[in-house]
Amino acid sequence: NVEAIQREKPWVTVGTIGHVDHGKTTLTSAITKVLEAEGLAQYQTYDRIDSTIEEKRRGITINAASVNYQSKLRNYAHVDCPGHADYIKNMISGTVQMDGTILVVAATDSVMPQTKEHVILAKQIGVEDLVVYINKTDTVDDDEITQLVELEVRELLDIHGFDSDKIPFVAGSALYALNDKDPVKGRDSIINLVEMLDKHVRLPTRIVDKPFFFNVEKAITVKGRGTVAVGSLERGIIEKGNEAEILGKSGKIRTVISQIQMFYKEVPKAMSGDSIGALLRGVSKDKVRRGSIIAKPGSIKLVKKADVKLYVLSKEEGGRHTPFMKGYKPVVFSRMSAVSAIVTELKGGKEMVMPGEDVELTFEFVIPLAIEEGKRFTVRDSRKTIATGVATKIYS
């Protein structure tokens, strides 16, 4: 009974990445076909996957298909995008967050421009767990070619900060798996691939395992007690007596959480997702306000400058109608706060950035901003979202 087992298995999100026509959609379909025979999936045809669902969020349209299957150990949600632009947008905006990814490389073509671009992006957004599937081995009759392709992919991975020795490679033919031909290159390669996903893609770290922080929605003074910061705990577990740091416009202030309230009742601790009021020992109300952050000391940095990767919305997506240049000054909204930022450098010798493009640039924040590498944000100007981005490097 598939239903019964399903609930006990953890969910992991993966996706296929790689150059156009290297076989991402064929492989996605083949996985469901092979696993259906094991009672672990429902076969999804190529056409069904490719006639994708439209997803609308933050004004960006991303075409992506989400397919589910199971291994013996896990439930997988698997994302396959139809076009290169969809991958770029999805990876930058994090609309679908991948815990790990399958890099598909056709043995006939080896490393191509989009292979490279997706590998770089995977690294920048913090998707570390990769499995490589060398596809279309049915068209090469020489094993040496497959080995050569593997070498080229390993070199690409190493150049871009992955440790290729730790990355498993599976060679096969998605088409053979789909058409029940040559079980070794076909079916077996898929079974092997799924086993590698189980072994090499780590389970997502639960948000409660990370250092706590929350955004202050409001601060109130309780007579005779002190200042209470109200907000919803974004991550971690907070306990009465914990040391904490207030990060805001006036810098960092140390304090102690002397009491935690939920629904007007005192509780010993609260966890990610809870709405809380935290009584801050020895803090006057002018030191904490809406937009301040309360965090485990040292866990969050205030940053003056960051390198980022942006996807700039096209006019049709509700974005700008005109390009922008160095010196442009929009507002950056991270999950934590909002500040004005100046584009101080456009990477790759770019002079201007057109709507609909993706770009790497440097932002300098007018007020230091709490942002971390791999974290997403949106960029706004004149009350509309004009871009979505991910921080790739922070400077403190």
- Pick the closer one to Mg ion by CB: 78 or 375: 78
Beta carbon nearer to Mg ion, 25 or 115: 25
184 part of the interface to ligand GDP, by CB under 6 A? no
* Shortest spacing between CB 301 and ligand GDP, in angstroms: 39
Q: Nearer Cβ to ligand GDP, position 136 or 305?
A: 136
Contact by Cβ (8 Å): 59, 180: no
Angle subtended at Cα 265 by Cα 264 and Cα 267, rounded to the nearest 5 degrees: 135
Which residues does the annotation mark as catalytic? Answer: 21, 24-25, 84
Closest CA to 318 of 360, 289, 356, 291: 356
Q: Which does 102 bind (CB under 5 to 8 A by kind): Mg ion, ligand GDP, none?
A: none
Joined together, the tokens standing for residue 144 give 């040496």
The reply on whether position 21 binds ligand GDP by CB under 6 A is yes
Q: Is 392 in the site for Mg ion (CB under 5 A)?
A: no
Which of ligand GDP, Mg ion, none has residue 272 at its interface (CB below 5 to 8 Å by kind)?
Answer: none
User: Residue with the closest Cβ to Mg ion?
Assistant: 25
Smallest separation (angstroms) from Mg ion to the CB of 135: 12
Could you tell me which stretch among 70-78, 136-144, 315-323, 366-374 binds ligand GDP (CB under 6 A)? 136-144
Contact 260, 278 (CB under 8 A): yes
What is the Cα–Cα distance from 51 to 218, expressed in whole angstroms?
A: 46
The answer to whether 138 contacts ligand GDP (rule: CB under 6 A) is yes
300's contact among ligand GDP, Mg ion, none, with CB below 5 to 8 A by partner kind, is none
Q: Nearer to ligand GDP by C-beta: 26 or 227?
A: 26
Min CB(90)–ligand GDP separation in Å: 14
Shortest reach from residue 82's CB to ligand GDP, in Å: 7
Q: Does 375 bind ligand GDP (CB under 6 A)?
A: no
Q: How many residues bind Mg ion (CB under 5 A)?
A: 2
As a whole number of Å, the end-to-end CA separation of the chain is 53
16 interacts with Mg ion by CB under 5 A? no
Pairing of strands 331-334, 376-381: antiparallel
| Residue 25 within binding range of ligand GDP, rule CB under 6 A | yes
Give the shortest CB-65-to-ligand GDP separation in angstroms.
10
| Residue of the chain from 17, 22, 140, 167 that contacts ligand GDP (CB under 6 A) | 22
User: What's the closest the beta carbon of residue 181 comes to ligand GDP, in angstroms?
Assistant: 10
CB atoms within 10 A of CB 269: 16
Binding mask 18-57 for Mg ion (x = CB under 5 A): ------xx--------------------------------
Interface with ligand GDP: number of residues (CB under 6 A): 14
Task: Determine if 78 is a binding residue for ligand GDP (CB under 6 A).
Answer: no
Give the gyration radius of the chain's Cα atoms.
Answer: 24
Q: Which of 52, 101, 115, 135 binds ligand GDP (CB under 6 A)?
A: 135
Q: Is 173 in the site for ligand GDP (CB under 6 A)?
A: yes
Among 61-69, 170-178, 247-255, 375-383, the segment contacting ligand GDP (CB under 6 A): 170-178
Minimum separation from the CB atom of position 146 to ligand GDP (A)? 12
The residues binding Mg ion (CB under 5 A) are 24-25
The residues binding ligand GDP (CB under 6 A) are 20-26, 135-136, 138-139, 173-175
